[in-house]
Amino acid sequence: MTAINWNKETAAHLYRRAAFGATAAELETAVSDGLEGAVDRLVDYSAISNAALDNRIASMHLVLKQPNPQTLPDNVRLWLARMIYTARPFEERMTFFWHNHFATSWAKVGETQLMRDQNDLFRRYAVGNFRRLCVEVAHDPAMLVWLDNETNIKDHPNENFGRELLELFTLGRGSYEETDVKASSRAFTGWTNDRTVYPIVFEYRPEWHDDGQKTFLGQSGNLNGEDIIDIICTQPQHARWIAGKLFSYFAYDSPEPEVVDRFAQIFLDSDTTVQPVVRAILKSPEMYSPRAMWTKVKSPVEHVVMTCHMLEIDGEIISARDHLIQQGQLLYEPPDVSGWKGGLTWVTSAALLSRINFANTVAAVFEPLLFGIPPTGAEAVDLYLDRLGPVHVDSATRQALIDYVAPGGVLPGGVTLRIRMRGLAHMIISLPEWQII
Amino acid sequence: MTLTRRAFVKGTIAGASLAFFPTRLAARALAAATGGKTLVIVQLIGGNDTLNTFIPYTDGRYRSARPALSIPDAQILQIDSQIGFHPAMTGLQELYHQRKFAFVTNVGFASLDRSHFRCQDVWSTASENPGSEPRGWLGRWADLYAPAAFSPVADVGVATSTPRGVAASRVLPTCLIDVETFDIKGDASNPDEASLFRSALRGIYQHPRAGGVADIVRETGALGFSAIDILHTLPPPSVVVDYAAPGRAVTPLGQSLRLAAQMIAGGNGTGVIWVTLDGFDTHRGQANGPSGGGSATGLHASLLGDLSSSLTAFQRDIEYRGLDDRVIVMGFSEFSRRVEENASLGTDHGKAGAVFMLGSPIRGGQWYGDPFDLGDLDEGDLKPRIDFRSVYATTIRDWLGGDPEPILGNAYENLGFIERGSRRRAVAH
């Protein structure tokens, strides 16, 4: 693997994958920081103040208490604002990763407060210790509702959580037997919610718990839920599962086994702490290899957040939530416990039209003077392609963009110039090349 | 414009945008479509509980396995001396008696493993090693048999992602939720500028890229732009059939099927339409307890009620349009559920289940396969006795047209649930 050539291209790639795109100022800083400095700046965010974000959120007058129906959209507005305006984009990137990993939907949980508490849990543990995060998730009221563990009772165990914990959260199919699913489910019996208080809280009910002998992944005893997670976290397959998923999220899908093993070892060596693994992935040659660069489809959330962030929109785009619904990635409502399928499944005709129409809404409030207005159509196109990427297009596409902005080679004047520059931003964000990262 | 074959293949939804292409060519392409036949797939996501759908009500073991969830005899919609339908399925019971509805029992595959995601992929790809098969079974059919001139595969009612069952390599499916949002908006205050924008963007999406993901996006976009032209000229939704239950709004499934009927009536050669109904993962609260209305009410009842009333409306819609000899519906779910109920008024993941078929060309009013055997279970689940690929093979051979073997990799039994040969009733077109 060759050395990493750190420049505007690779720095922008890092910011597309590990943040939500870079503005011109962010990109300049990242390039001059060098690879190590740029990655560390993203990953070591705990000392970075988010006061400006907090002020912005305070000024949004969000309604966050049910039963007001506004709590549902406002919960989504809150997280989108965090993603767009945070000074710690990596924190939101990882929170988003965990939301998709422990995919829980408001559609069944039905209480925004619980979803927000779970979201705060993911943010708190964004780059923290996985074992502790997993134990917290097993106690999380939203998860207990979502995967029915709140009614997992010893006489007739409910296997929903016990199974998905293994299949999706920690090990992956093929590394355990049905008997392990049964043992895991029995171990979590009695982990329920106290529904006599509002909002509901975790409660352990000893009379519901199965105290019998259980054998899980070859270890026997009167195992409880924490024992199950402890046993899982010592498994090499667990480290491979988590490291592989993190690597795929940032770099590329279906990584080579030896690449996964390298990062799995870092995960095991750090006692399942995430930060050293993600740091290593973001500094690895694989991260900047041709297999990684421009090979992923932007997810709808990435599309919405990057559009607002890179066009440096100050006001709020209220229709963002509608577009996320049309494109199938409403925050807090993944389709099922395996999360969003991602990749090429985002590429449907209806979803692309929704992206194009969202870009139209955003471009309508974009201020062209932020990017400047060059004297010719060709310079305008090159400037916008640079600011919104850099995006690389073939000469025919570049010419088509020039012909749109400046038919006959002449930029229009007056109010039409403004419309056309906004149209140019809209069109670049609508390009096939802008849908990939 | 320059008309390349590639643009023609990828540039239309399923049929031809007559505005784009020479009329004679388009008409020939239409005539060569699937003989005007459409297969509608209804995917029940989450694992439908077969035993509370097609109920073996005379088997005492059904009641003993389900003290809380079994449906009381008096409420079951009996179809014969062995099986009755869930009380929410009145419309489908009627269609069964009209011989337009049938089901196949104990359907599954040897490696059913109770995983939603793997089992969905197996059903979609018709491969028990789905990781090695990127295309869906209907996508492979379309790649082999769809007329070269255009894609007859269009899936309707799924906007969020392409159903894996129709993923193909030569043809592309189109996804949408509704016609209203399916358009390119431009500068709202200036129609001329908006129109300039639209034509520039359409132009950019016309020429192929060097490859990679960007070109897949481009092709899909170009397809979508052409689909806009077709979809905005579809016949209107039915004014005769109301897809809404009395006093209710039309459900998303009803909306999808209503649009499917418009697509079929549009005559654009749409061969496959894929719609979904989610929510069948009823680990908990599958039915209400005795104090809450009893086992015939609750989550599963409302899902089956939606399924039954939406499908009944769809069948009536296409009958009124005189298209019912051209349409069949197949419904499946990734697995069925455990025979024994759990302590949460629910059921856990199971194995074999049932597939249903609907349509005038279906040999309905009967069911195919053995009775459910609750005395011979696999770890508490129904055993698969009919390979799901037999259902697919029958559908390919007797409906879509073509040889099932290269698509499914093996020969499978023909179950005979589709009427072959002459039409059953004269239809005016």
Task: Report the gap between the CA of A241 and the closest CA in chain B (Å).
Answer: 17
User: Exposed (0-12), middle (13-18) or buried (19+): which is A56, by Cβ within 10 Å?
Assistant: middle
- Report the DSSP pairing between strands B327-333 and B38-45: parallel
Instruction: Locate the chain B residue with the closest alpha carbon to A393.
Output: B209
Q: Which residue has the higher pLDDT, A325 or B404?
A: B404
Q: Best of B135, B213, B256, B281 to disrupt the A interface by mutation (most A CBs within 10 Å)?
A: B213
Contact A361, A319 (CB under 8 A): yes
Are the Cβ atoms of B203 and A431 closer than 8 angstroms?
A: no
pLDDT mean over B158-185: 72
**Smallest Cβ distance to A173: which of B118, B210, B342?**
B118
Are the Cβ atoms of A349 and B218 closer than 8 angstroms?
A: no
Are the Cβ atoms of B344 and A151 closer than 8 angstroms?
A: yes
**With 50 as the cut, is the pLDDT of residue B51 above it?**
yes
Q: Which residue has the higher pLDDT, A194 or B159?
A: A194
Predicted confidence (pLDDT) per residue in B52-79, tens digit: 999 999 999 999 999 999 999 999 999 9
Is residue A207 less than 8 Å (CB to CB) from chain B? no
**Cβ-based neighbour number of residue B195 at 10 Å:** 12
Are the Cβ atoms of B283 and A160 closer than 8 angstroms?
A: yes
Percent with pLDDT over 70 in chain A: 100
**Smallest Cβ distance to B284: which of A158, A338, A404?**
A158
Predicted confidence (pLDDT) per residue in A408-422, tens digit: 888 998 889 999 999
Contact B176, B182 (CB under 8 A): yes
Q: State yes or no: cis peptide before B130, omega within 30 of 0.
A: no
Residues 1-40 of chain A with CB under 8 A from chain B are none
Q: What is the mean pLDDT of chain B?
A: 84
Residue B368 pairs with which residues in a beta bridge? B104
Instruction: Locate the chain A residue with the closest alpha carbon to B167.
Output: A345
User: Exposed (0-12), middle (13-18) or buried (19+): which is B20, by Cβ within 10 Å?
Assistant: middle
DSSP B325: G
Is residue A254 less than 8 Å (CB to CB) from chain B? no
First-to-last CA distance in chain B?
Answer: 34
**Cβ-based neighbour number of residue B393 at 10 Å:** 23
DSSP B84: E
Provide the pLDDT confidence category of residue B225 given band limits of 50, 70 and 90.
Answer: confident
A354 CB contacts (<8 Å, ≥6 apart)?
A300, A323, A326, A327, B181
**With 90 as the cut, is the pLDDT of residue B119 above it?**
yes
- Measured CA to CA, the distance from residue B196 to residue A406 in angstroms comes to 12
**With 50 as the cut, is the pLDDT of residue B321 above it?**
yes
pLDDT mean over A5-26: 97
Q: Best of A349, A362, A416, A426 to disrupt the B interface by mutation (most B CBs within 10 Å)?
A: A349
pLDDT of A255 reads 98
B113 CB contacts (<8 Å, ≥6 apart)?
A173, B119
Q: Which residue has the higher pLDDT, B356 or A67?
A: B356
Q: State yes or no: cis peptide before B406, omega within 30 of 0.
A: no
- Indicate the range of A29-38, B66-75, B274-283 predicted with least confidence: B274-283
DSSP B397: I
Report H helices in A59-140: 71-85, 89-101, 106-109, 112-124, 130-139
Provide the pLDDT confidence category of residue A1 given band limits of 50, 70 and 90.
Answer: low
Chain A residues close to B351, C-beta within 8 Å: none
Residues 266-285 of chain A with CB under 8 A from chain B are none
CA pseudo-torsion sign B320, B321, B325, B331: negative
Task: Report the gap between the CA of B420 and the closest CA in chain A (Å).
Answer: 35
Provide the pLDDT confidence category of residue B12 given band limits of 50, 70 and 90.
Answer: very low
pTM over 0.80: no
- Measured CA to CA, the distance from residue A75 to residue A173 in angstroms comes to 33
Q: What is the mean pLDDT of chain A?
A: 95
Residue among B187, B199, B198 at smallest CA distance from A365: B187
Task: Report the gap between the CA of A351 and the closest CA in chain B (Å).
Answer: 7
Task: Report the gap between the CA of A406 and the closest CA in chain B (Å).
Answer: 12
**Cβ-based neighbour number of residue A287 at 10 Å:** 24
DSSP B379: T
**Smallest Cβ distance to A155: which of B212, B220, B343?**
B343
Provide the pLDDT confidence category of residue B160 given band limits of 50, 70 and 90.
Answer: low
Question: What residue has token string 């029995």?
Answer: A186
**Smallest Cβ distance to A427: which of B158, B201, B346?**
B201
**With 50 as the cut, is the pLDDT of residue B92 above it?**
yes
**Smallest Cβ distance to B197: which of A328, A423, A436?**
A423
Q: Best of B2, B116, B161 to disrupt the A interface by mutation (most A CBs within 10 Å)?
A: B161
Are the Cβ atoms of B281 and A336 closer than 8 angstroms?
A: yes
**With 90 as the cut, is the pLDDT of residue B7 above it?**
no
Residue among A292, A294, A327, A320 at smallest CA distance from A306: A320
First-to-last CA distance in chain A?
Answer: 21
Are the Cβ atoms of B224 and A157 closer than 8 angstroms?
A: no
Provide the pLDDT confidence category of residue B147 given band limits of 50, 70 and 90.
Answer: low
Chain B residues close to A173, C-beta within 8 Å: 113, 115, 118
Predicted confidence (pLDDT) per residue in B232-270, tens digit: 888 899 999 999 988 889 998 998 899 899 988 888 777
Residue among A418, A157, A356, A58 at smallest CA distance from B185: A356
A316 CB contacts (<8 Å, ≥6 apart)?
A60, A77, A81
Are the Cβ atoms of A160 and B177 closer than 8 angstroms?
A: no
Task: Report the gap between the CA of A367 and the closest CA in chain B (Å).
Answer: 15
Are the Cβ atoms of A294 and B212 closer than 8 angstroms?
A: yes
Provide the pLDDT confidence category of residue A158 given band limits of 50, 70 and 90.
Answer: very high
CB pairs under 8 A between A and B: 183
pLDDT mean over A132-156: 96
Predicted confidence (pLDDT) per residue in A214-273, tens digit: 999 999 999 999 999 999 999 999 999 999 999 999 999 999 999 999 999 999 999 999
B24 CB contacts (<8 Å, ≥6 apart)?
none
Q: State yes or no: cis peptide before A89, omega within 30 of 0.
A: no
Percent with pLDDT over 70 in chain B: 85
**With 60 as the cut, is the pLDDT of residue B154 above it?**
no
Task: Report the gap between the CA of B348 and the closest CA in chain A (Å).
Answer: 7
**With 90 as the cut, is the pLDDT of residue B21 above it?**
no
**With 60 as the cut, is the pLDDT of residue A56 above it?**
yes
Is residue A347 less than 8 Å (CB to CB) from chain B? yes
Are the Cβ atoms of A351 and B160 closer than 8 angstroms?
A: yes
- Pair of tokens at residue A320: 């963002």
B211 CB contacts (<8 Å, ≥6 apart)?
none
Helix (H, G, I), strand (E, B) or coil at B286: coil
**With 50 as the cut, is the pLDDT of residue B82 above it?**
yes
Are the Cβ atoms of B284 and A148 closer than 8 angstroms?
A: yes
Chain A residues close to B207, C-beta within 8 Å: 396-397
- Measured CA to CA, the distance from residue B164 to residue B334 in angstroms comes to 13
Task: Report the gap between the CA of B52 and the closest CA in chain A (Å).
Answer: 19
Provide the pLDDT confidence category of residue B31 given band limits of 50, 70 and 90.
Answer: very low
**With 70 as the cut, is the pLDDT of residue A136 above it?**
yes
Are the Cβ atoms of A151 and B343 closer than 8 angstroms?
A: yes
Provide the pLDDT confidence category of residue B132 given band limits of 50, 70 and 90.
Answer: confident
Task: Report the gap between the CA of A276 and the closest CA in chain B (Å).
Answer: 31
Residues 133-162 of chain A with CB under 8 A from chain B are 147-148, 151-153, 155-160
pLDDT mean over A156-169: 95
Are the Cβ atoms of A350 and B177 closer than 8 angstroms?
A: yes
Contact B333, B47 (CB under 8 A): yes
Q: Which residue has the higher pLDDT, B132 or B13?
A: B132
Return contacts of A85-89, CB within 8 angstroms, 24+ apart: A85/A52, A85/A53, A85/A56, A85/A309, A86/A50, A86/A53, A87/A45, A87/A48, A87/A49, A87/A50, A87/A52, A87/A53, A88/A45, A88/A48, A88/A50, A89/A15, A89/A18, A89/A19, A89/A20, A89/A42
- Pair of tokens at residue B274: 């894929």
Contact B50, B362 (CB under 8 A): no
Predicted confidence (pLDDT) per residue in A333-350, tens digit: 998 899 998 898 898 888
Are the Cβ atoms of B217 and A401 closer than 8 angstroms?
A: no
Task: Report the gap between the CA of B185 and the closest CA in chain A (Å).
Answer: 6
Question: What residue has token string 């086992």?
Answer: B295
Angle of CA points B357, B287, A168, to nearest 5°:
80
DSSP string, A162-199: HHHIIIIIIS-TTSS-HHHHHHHHHHTTTEEEETTSSS
Helix (H) or strand (E) holding B54, with range, is: strand B54-55
- Indicate the range of A198-212, A219-233, B166-180 predicted with least confidence: B166-180
Percent with pLDDT over 90 in chain B: 60
Predicted confidence (pLDDT) per residue in A349-367, tens digit: 888 999 999 999 999 999 9
**CA-to-CA separations, A208 to A152, B201, B343, in angstroms, rounded:** 8, 62, 11
Chain B residues close to A153, C-beta within 8 Å: 343-344
- Pair of tokens at residue A136: 């917290």
**Cβ-based neighbour number of residue A347 at 10 Å:** 24
B301 CB contacts (<8 Å, ≥6 apart)?
B86, B87, B88, B287
Chain B residues close to A295, C-beta within 8 Å: 212-213
